[in-house]
């Protein structure tokens, strides 16, 4: 039913090797037969079978992208970067959403390997470095996003979380805050822990004592930011500023503050992380640490495809992108007002 190169060969009166060559635009075919065959192929509605091709060429021109939460606007931007760079190079991408579930993450990775993707881009949330190390020892090239391993060398594209967080907190300190809380996400995920580092660093440098009770964990969902903020505001001595590990959390934090009848930033200043598109909206106006999301995805894909094409290299690529503090109204810093927010 579906037409194959054999069908074309029969109709054209040539061997199917010739058809294969003609269709792949190989030089060793006469211009005349090439044209004839391509005409026939089009006419017969031939569509190459990438599965069959993949079996023999041992490449699928397919990448796997594993992310934890497509619902968080950070990841679609990254995914777009990956996809456009991939597509430009002739690759498709399997998009897998793990919902922050490490088991699902693992299942997906194994599945992608069974599907013989040519490479893998992971925004991993697993704590099991042993698993990742083992994975990296396999033959499928991998690029990690926002994840740096201690034990193993690997390709990664990341942001300088420590510096970003430090800048955010120092900004708050420079505005006079000394009682600053940190609302993290999942406790053991790098974006929580590294940003905590930066937070502590900023405090230390400015001789502000670190207080355990001002640090909270949860998920990376808005609800978690909301609840942790409520709890922080109920402290005998509540914080005057809150730094959230990402913008979604920050939005939850702001909601909690407002529901308590308090104002942002007059009563409580807020800073987030990521600079998702909605942070810039006049109604939100969130001071935040911007990540070059699209670029991160784009670079990850390019590095991956490069490794796929050139084969494994002893030196892995390490990209650490600089964060950018974007000051808007929510922190009370006035460098950028609503009128200047990009739209």
Catalog residues that contact a copy of itself under the rule CB under 8 A. 1-2, 47-52, 54-55, 60, 62, 70-71, 73, 76-77, 79-80, 83, 92-97, 110-116, 139, 222-223, 226, 251-252, 254-255, 258-259, 277-278, 281-284, 338-339, 343
Q: Which stretch binds DNA (CB under 7 A): 4-12, 83-91, 230-238, 283-291?
A: 4-12
Helix (H) or strand (E) holding 172: helix 161-174
Using rule CB under 7 A, residue 42 touches DNA: no
Yes or no: say if 184 and 196 are a contact pair by the CB < 8 Å rule: yes
Yes or no: say if 93 and 83 are a contact pair by the CB < 8 Å rule: yes
Euclidean distance between CA atoms 98 and 105, whole angstroms:
5
Q: Is 104 exposed, middle or buried (0-12, 13-18, 19+ CB in 10 A)?
A: middle
CA-to-CA separations, 310 to 55, 81, 236, 295, 304, in angstroms, rounded? 20, 22, 60, 22, 10
Helix (H) or strand (E) holding 57: helix 50-57
Per-residue x/- track, 230-269, DNA (CB under 7 A): ----------------------------------------
Q: Which stretch binds DNA (CB under 7 A): 5-13, 67-75, 123-131, 294-302?
A: 5-13
Yes or no: say if 191 and 245 are a contact pair by the CB < 8 Å rule: yes
29 interface partner picked from DNA, a copy of itself, none, CB below 5 to 8 A per type: DNA
CA-to-CA separations, 100 to 111, 119, 132, 197, 309, in angstroms, rounded? 17, 21, 16, 22, 31
Q: Which stretch binds DNA (CB under 7 A): 3-11, 128-136, 147-155, 191-199?
A: 3-11
13 interface partner picked from DNA, a copy of itself, none, CB below 5 to 8 A per type: DNA
Euclidean distance between CA atoms 125 and 68, whole angstroms:
7
Using rule CB under 7 A, residue 13 touches DNA: yes
**Taking the complex as a whole, how short is the minimal distance between the CB of residue 253 and a copy of itself, in angstroms?**
11
Using rule CB under 7 A, residue 188 touches DNA: no
111 interface partner picked from DNA, a copy of itself, none, CB below 5 to 8 A per type: a copy of itself
Using rule CB under 7 A, residue 57 touches DNA: yes
Euclidean distance between CA atoms 72 and 246, whole angstroms:
10
Query: Can you tell me which residue has the tokens 């199917």?
Result: 16
State which residue, 167 or 246, has the beta carbon closest to a copy of itself: 246
Residue 60, helix vs strand vs coil: coil
Using rule CB under 7 A, residue 281 touches DNA: no
State which residue, 74 or 199, has the beta carbon closest to a copy of itself: 74
**Taking the complex as a whole, how short is the minimal distance between the CB of residue 8 and DNA, in angstroms?**
8
Using CB under 7 A, which of 2, 137, 207, 340 touches DNA? 2
Long-range contacts of 87-92 (CB under 8 A, 24+ apart): 89/301, 89/302, 89/305, 90/61, 91/61, 91/62, 91/63, 91/118, 91/301, 91/305, 92/61, 92/62, 92/63
Tell me how crowded residue 234 is: count the other CB atoms within 10 A of its CB: 9
Q: Which stretch binds DNA (CB under 7 A): 47-55, 76-84, 102-110, 200-208?
A: 47-55
Using rule CB under 7 A, residue 60 touches DNA: no
Yes or no: say if 196 and 215 are a contact pair by the CB < 8 Å rule: yes
Using CB under 7 A, which of 10, 15, 153, 309 touches DNA? 15
Residues in the chain: 343
Using rule CB under 7 A, residue 283 touches DNA: no
Using rule CB under 7 A, residue 29 touches DNA: yes
Per CB under 7 A, residues contacting DNA are 2, 4-6, 13-18, 20-21, 23-24, 27-30, 32-33, 46-49, 52-53, 55-58
């Amino acid at each position: 039913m579906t037409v194959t190169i054999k069908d074309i060969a029969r109709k054209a009166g040539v061997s199917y090797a010739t058809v294969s060559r003609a269709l792949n635009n190989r030089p060793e075919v006469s211009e005349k037969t090439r044209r004839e065959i391509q005409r026939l192929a089009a006419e017969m509605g031939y569509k190459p079978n990438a599965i069959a091709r993949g079996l023999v060429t041992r490449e699928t021109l397919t990448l796997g992208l594993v992310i934890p939460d497509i619902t968080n606007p950070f990841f679609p931007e990254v995914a777009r970067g990956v996809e456009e760079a991939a597509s430009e190079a002739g690759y498709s991408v399997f998009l897998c959403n793990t919902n922050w579930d490490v088991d699902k993450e693992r299942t997906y990775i194994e599945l992608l390997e069974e599907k013989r993707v040519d490479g893998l881009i992971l925004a991993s949330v697993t704590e099991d470095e042993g698993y990742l190390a083992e994975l990296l020892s396999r033959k499928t090239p991998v690029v990690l996003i926002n994840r740096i391993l201690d034990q193993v060398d690997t390709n990664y594209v990341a942001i300088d979380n420590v510096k970003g967080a430090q800048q955010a907190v120092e900004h708050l300190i420079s505005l006079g805050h000394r009682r600053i809380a940190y609302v993290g996400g999942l406790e053991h995920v790098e974006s929580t822990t590294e940003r905590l580092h930066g937070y502590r660093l900023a405090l230390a440098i400015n001789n502000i004592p670190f207080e355990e009770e001002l640090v909270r964990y949860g998920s990376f969902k808005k609800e978690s930011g909301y609840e942790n903020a409520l709890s922080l505001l109920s402290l005998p001595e509540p914080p005057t500023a809150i730094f959230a590990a990402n913008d979604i959390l920050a939005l939850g934090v702001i909601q909690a503050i407002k529901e308590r009848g308090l104002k942002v930033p007059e009563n409580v200043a807020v800073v987030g992380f990521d600079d998702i598109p909605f942070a810039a909206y006049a109604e939100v106006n969130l001071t935040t640490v911007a990540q070059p999301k699209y670029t991160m995805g784009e670079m990850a894909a390019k590095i991956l495809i490069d490794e796929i094409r050139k084969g494994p290299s002893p030196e892995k690529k390490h990209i650490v992108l600089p964060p950018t503090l974007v000051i808007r109204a929510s922190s009370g810093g006035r460098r950028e007002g609503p009128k200047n927010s990009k739209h």
